[in-house]
A and B are shown apart, each in its own frame.
Chain A
Amino acid sequence: MNLSPEVDWPYNENMDIENELKNIFAASLHPIILDFYYTDEEFKDFTCIFSNDPKCQQQKPISIYETPSILRTLALKSEIFSLSLREKMYANSDPELCYILEWNDQIRKIILFNFAYLTAFDEDSFVSCLAEKRSKLHKVFQHMYQQKVAM
């Protein structure tokens, strides 16, 4: 399955990422703390291209197996746990959520949401927002990605 959403180019050169994210998630969560990561090769660690997490300013590459939120999401999608083990594995709440924006042999783009600082959160609105505004999120991601690649 190729999940590359259609991106309406050209993107806005002067895009203000923080404002774009606020617009996308306006009714869902506050504050919006997230990181954008990508990798273009399955054995390579994920590279951070954007982070507004005050505790994550080093932006080091992260491993698929050493990042619980990525591992959790992929394990769920791959259905590797029996029901009883899944209940054990997901019993403890983790403040980080991995959302897969694009995942194919050429590129893997993910967003890590950090919920540790939340003061307002509407789960239903957040879920529908991710589904409805996937293309817009991808556009924001692509903007950061182009900047990173151009460096």
Chain B
Amino acid sequence: MISDRGFPRYSVQTLQPTVMWNNEAHPKIEIVNVSLSGLQIKSSAKIPCKKINELDLKLKQQEYSVSVKIVWDKIKNDNFFYYGVHIKFDDITIYDQWLTFIKALHLYFQRKKT
């Protein structure tokens, strides 16, 4: 058994990724942090959620598309809606792309710490 926080989480707010939620642009959504297994997102408006949702992140020239499921949500003191999002990989290529992205963030944060 391990805690829910198995994989490290990386803040990507400064990278300001463009977010598509279920194939629609959703400017109110911000990505708080990401990990290999999920993301935390925040929004000034409630996000319409299906059982399985499609999330697309665009960071400069790179684009990542993952299937996600909301596992928790709460409204914090700043009146934003926060969501815990779990990623489920069904395609090895998408997993490899996401892993490469996470590895790059890991190295960046490692260097930043030292």
Chain A contacts to B: CB under 8 angstroms: 1-3, 41-45, 63-65, 74-75, 77-82, 84-85, 88-89, 100, 103-105
Interface residues of B in 1-38 (CB under 8 A from A): 1-8, 36-38
* A65-B2 contact given A42-B8, A80-B37, A85-B91, CB 8 Å threshold: no
Q: Which residues of B contact A85 (CB under 8 A)?
A: 89-92, 95
Q: Which residues of B contact A105 (CB under 8 A)?
A: 3, 5
Q: Which residues of B contact A82 (CB under 8 A)?
A: 88-90
CA distance A105 to B3 in the complex (A): 9
Return A52 CB to nearest CB of chain B, in Å.
25
Return A91 CB to nearest CB of chain B, in Å.
12
CA distance A88 to B90 in the complex (A): 10
* A1-B113 contact given A43-B8, A80-B88, CB 8 Å threshold: no
Q: Which residues of A contact B109 (CB under 8 A)?
A: 43
Q: How many residues of B contact A (CB 8 A)?
A: 26
Q: Is the CB of A43 within 8 A of B6?
A: no
Q: Is the CB of A75 within 8 A of B36?
A: yes
Chain B contacts to A: CB under 8 angstroms: 1-8, 36-38, 86-92, 95, 99, 102-103, 106, 109-110, 113
Q: Which residues of B contact A44 (CB under 8 A)?
A: 110, 113
Q: Which residues of B contact A75 (CB under 8 A)?
A: 36-37
Q: Is the CB of A81 within 8 A of B88?
A: yes
Q: Which residues of B contact A43 (CB under 8 A)?
A: 8, 106, 109-110, 113
Q: List 26 A-B contacts (CB under 8 A).
A: A1-B4, A2-B3, A3-B3, A41-B113, A42-B8, A43-B8, A63-B106, A64-B106, A65-B102, A74-B2, A74-B6, A74-B36, A75-B37, A78-B7, A78-B36, A80-B36, A80-B86, A80-B87, A81-B89, A81-B95, A82-B88, A82-B89, A84-B90, A85-B91, A103-B3, A103-B6
